[in-house]
């Protein structure tokens, strides 16, 4: 089913709507808001985030219905940094042309590290800045250790009806090994509190973790399935040099990772979960609307440090340092670090690369089929790609070698013909 907007989104927008480019005024887009704060950096994480080590965070287990003292302390590690960042976010909203969001996604970092009042203020700023009546899905990412009852209430009152809740594994020894700050009991309490408050909940799991076994992964999947979530995201460990795992030289077994992925796909399929994107599974009608905007190469606006946008053919990315972002936005300057407009094979190839993440396939532009005819034929001959009328899709083998397939549609090309526009040219 498609999630209905919470009544909060149907109330009149206070403070009016920003006036900007006529193009965006009439566009229905995805709206992403980045909250970079987290209680600490997980050992595998290479997202832009600001770890905050604060004694007030208390013990590793901090439950959704924790003691009143813990509830008051949850999320206090950011303090003035969070307040300044939220002011900068609203300033960027005023700098952006108006748009009509179809979806809202608050990601991070860990948005649930904000205090309840800060979450409420962020949602109110979105309502002041954008025409939110058309939002059909509003999601917020959260971690179990920082998801308190008052935050659930603030999110629900503010119109958020869907949570993406990070678990990764049910094995406590592995949670410690990958730098998570909760245990499985903490997750269970947070999940049940969220469901009890009326939220749809998507659960994140990982495979290929150091020390993880096939039996352990099966146990994690079984435990999560017993909760009957509408949506699951399943990610294989990818070690980046910039992460603590990268610094420690952690390596993952690709053969074991593939076996784990195959087992997971088969298990979830038996329980009726539609494998609709390489890393995502959902019960019928419970697919993520917002994330499909990315894979369908549709338009979206990103707010916050390191947030990306795609509007009218231009891709742009904000500066990634917290202070630089706040300084720019609060001084009335767009905090954009880079922008480009893709053309030629580069634009066409990106559309193919993104569309192929959808397991049911997609219908490429005729120009893309012509531009990449040799690559498509070669991948089909290897059994990685399949043509079904006008549609293109990965085969079962292609799902496991998706990165190999994707590499055929991104630069460098043998005969490049794409052009890019520099940031200075883009804003001239």
Query: pLDDT digit string (tens) for 344-376?
Result: 999 999 999 999 999 999 999 999 999 999 999
The CATH number of residue 377's host domain is: 1.10.10
Q: Where a domain ends, among 263, 294, 325?
A: 294
What is the 3-state composition of the chain as percent helix, strand, coil, each rounded to the nearest 5? 40, 20, 40
CA distance 370 to 377: 11
Q: Per residue in 368-385, pLDDT tens? A: 999 999 999 999 999 999
- Shared-domain flag, residues 350 and 287: no
pLDDT for the residue numbered 70: 35
Q: Is 163 helix (H, G, I), strand (E, B) or coil?
A: strand
Q: Is 21 helix (H, G, I), strand (E, B) or coil?
A: coil
Cis peptide leading into residue 412 (ω within 30°): yes
- On whether residue 208 sits in a domain, the answer given is yes
CA distance 102 to 64: 29
Q: Where a domain ends, among 260, 276, 294?
A: 294
Helices (H), 12-51: 22-25
CA distance 235 to 9: 32
User: What is the phi/psi pair of residue 392, to 5°?
Assistant: -125, 135
Q: What is the pTM of this model?
A: 0.86
- Shared-domain flag, residues 271 and 382: no
Residue 17: pLDDT over 50: no
Q: What is the average pLDDT across 305-319?
A: 95
Residue 56: pLDDT over 80: no
pLDDT for the residue numbered 394: 98
Q: What's the distance, CA 290 to chain centroid?
A: 9
Domain around 382 = 344-409
Q: Where a domain ends, among 278, 294, 310?
A: 294
Q: How many domains does the chain have?
A: 2
User: What is the phi/psi pair of residue 311, to 5°?
Assistant: -135, 130
The CATH number of residue 56's host domain is: 3.30.750.200
Tokens of 223: 């435990």
pLDDT for the residue numbered 65: 38
- Shared-domain flag, residues 148 and 60: yes
Tokens of 108: 């991070």
- Shared-domain flag, residues 372 and 276: no
Residue 321: pLDDT over 50: yes
């Amino acid at each position: 089913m498609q999630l209905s907007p919470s009544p909060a989104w149907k109330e009149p927008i206070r403070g009016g709507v920003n006036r900007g480019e006529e193009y965006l005024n009439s566009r229905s887009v995805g709206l992403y808001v980045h909250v970079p704060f987290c209680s600490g950096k997980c050992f595998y994480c290479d997202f832009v985030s600001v770890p905050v080590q604060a004694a007030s965070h208390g013990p590793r287990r901090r439950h959704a219905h924790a003691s009143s003292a813990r509830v008051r302390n949850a999320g206090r590690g950011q303090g003035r940094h969070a307040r300044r960042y939220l002011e900068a976010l609203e300033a960027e909203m005023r700098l952006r042309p108006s748009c009509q969001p179809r979806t809202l996604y608050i990601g991070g970092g860990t948005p649930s590290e904000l205090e309840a009042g800060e979450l409420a203020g962020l949602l109110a700023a979105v309502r002041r800045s954008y025409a939110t009546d058309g939002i059909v899905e509003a999601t917020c990412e959260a971690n179990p250790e920082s998801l308190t009852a008052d935050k659930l209430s603030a999110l629900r009152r503010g119109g958020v009806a869907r949570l993406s809740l990070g678990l990764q594994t049910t094995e406590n020894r592995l949670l410690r090994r990958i730098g998570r700050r909760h245990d499985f009991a903490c997750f269970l309490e947070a999940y049940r509190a969220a469901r009890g408050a009326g939220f749809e909940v998507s659960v994140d799991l990982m495979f290929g973790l150091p020390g993880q076994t096939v039996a352990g992964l099966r146990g994690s999947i079984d435990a999560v399935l017993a909760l009957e979530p509408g949506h699951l995201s399943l990610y294989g460990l990818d070690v980046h040099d910039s992460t603590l795992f990268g610094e420690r030289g952690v390596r993952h077994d690709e053969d074991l990772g593939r076996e784990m992925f195959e087992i997971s796909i088969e298990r979830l399929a038996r329980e009726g979960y539609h494998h609709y994107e390489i890393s995502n599974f959902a019960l019928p009608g419970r697919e993520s609307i917002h994330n499909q905007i990315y894979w369908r190469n549709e338009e979206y606006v990103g707010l916050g440090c390191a947030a990306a946008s795609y509007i009218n053919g231009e891709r742009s990315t904000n500066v990634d340092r917290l202070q630089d972002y706040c300084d720019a936005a609060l001084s009335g300057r767009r905090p954009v670090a880079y922008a480009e407009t893709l053309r030629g094979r580069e634009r066409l190839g990106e559309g193919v690369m993104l569309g192929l993440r959808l397991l049911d396939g997609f219908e490429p532009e005729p120009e893309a089929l012509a531009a990449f005819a040799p690559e498509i034929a070669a991948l089909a001959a290897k059994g990685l790609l399949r043509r079904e009328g006008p549609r293109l899709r990965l085969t079962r083998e292609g799902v496991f070698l998706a990165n190999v397939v994707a590499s055929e549609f991104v630069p460098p090309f043998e005969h490049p013909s794409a052009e890019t526009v520099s940031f200075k040219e883009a804003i001239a």
